[in-house]
Structure 1
Amino acid sequence: MDNTNRMVLEFESRSQNESFARTVVAAFAATMDPTLEELADIKTAVSEAVTNCIIHGYPDKIGIITMRCSISGDEITVEVEDNGVGIEDINKAMEPLYTTRPDLERSGMGFSFMEAFMDELEVESVVGEGTLVRMRKRIGKEAIKGYTQHTG
């Protein structure tokens, strides 16, 4: 039997739905008993991915964002996908401080944050068809530093 737990959510690319996506992924990940820091990392990475869809994927219209989450063992995988304009040069887009929307005072750090807060980051994109961001994080991989349990 496959022990993978899965969830799929579709929502419109509206800025108010960014916090909704954060809340949903946090509730889904909570079943893994993550630390507050691990949960914050996941929420931040999802926030950045969803914001990229809203700002860059659908710059001139409201589109659909699909978020897929799965938990297998100690690993959560989160995919955030749009059917928007796509990314012409993924390597360039992933460079820190690079942004295609300087008019919106964007920092260009979205992918850098996703990489920093998650264990793995993959980006697939086709111009005119959309972008898929896949992120993975292992929960509980580090022992709590400085904590020793004494019994008896």
Structure 2
Amino acid sequence: MDNEMILSFLAKSENESLARIAVTSFIAHLDPTIEELAECKTIVSEAVSNAIIHGYDGAYGMVTVHAILDGEVLSVTIKDEGRGIPDIESAKEPLFTTKGHEERSGMGFTIMESFSDEFRVESHIGHGTTITFTKKFSPIQAIAM
């Protein structure tokens, strides 16, 4: 492990950008490509939004972002202690949403998984959800070629 960061904040929509900026600042010294940076920001935004919108559904609670950097590999865990997901496999299906009346597309898990090298969801009813992803960034030398 080269570096580690833990950030906890109140589950409020305005804190989504805080999480996104914190994680992208954490990896800035790797000099990620614009595509890598955009993918990482999107994964974090989707995971934090899910925690706020679905995990707590307007109730107060905390979201924790735990990031570990090991060489060019970033591992991030985003956790809430909210309602939990009753059926993870259904929730991971494209277009599945429990908030269709709020114009949710139901693509969050699909997007997160497609931008990650590894992606995992764990959830327990009444105890919350944990999303973990890893992303390997291109070495700076490889980009210059």
Cα offsets for 1:34-87 (capped at 9, x unmatched): 111101100000000000001100013021000000100110011100000001
Task: Kindly name which structure, 1 or 2, has the bigger radius of gyration based on alpha carbons.
Answer: 1
1:115 shift after superposition = 0.8
Cα offsets for 1:92-133 (capped at 9, x unmatched): 000000011112111000001101111111000000000000
1:136 pairs with 134, 137, 142, which one?
134
1:31 shift after superposition = 2.1
Cα offsets for 1:1-53 (capped at 9, x unmatched): xx431000000111111111111111001122211110110000000000000
2:106 pairs with 99, 105, 108, which one?
108
1:61 pairs with 59, 62, 71, which one?
59
Q: How many equivalent residue pairs?
A: 144
1:81 pairs with 55, 79, 82, which one?
79
TM-score w.r.t. the length of structure 1 is 0.90
What runs of 5+ residues in structure 1 fail to find an aligned partner? none
Task: List, as ranges, runs of 4+ consecutive aligned residues in structure 1 with deviation greater than 6 Å.
Answer: none
Q: Which amino acid is 2:50 matched to? A: N
2:14 pairs with 10, 13, 16, which one?
16
Q: In structure 1, what is the Cα distance between the partners aligned to 2:128 and 2:29? A: 31
Residue of structure 1 in register with 2:117 after alignment: 119
> Identity of counterpart residues, as a percentage?
49
TM-score w.r.t. the length of structure 2 is 0.94
Q: In structure 2, what is the Cα distance between the partners aligned to 1:113 and 1:122? A: 13
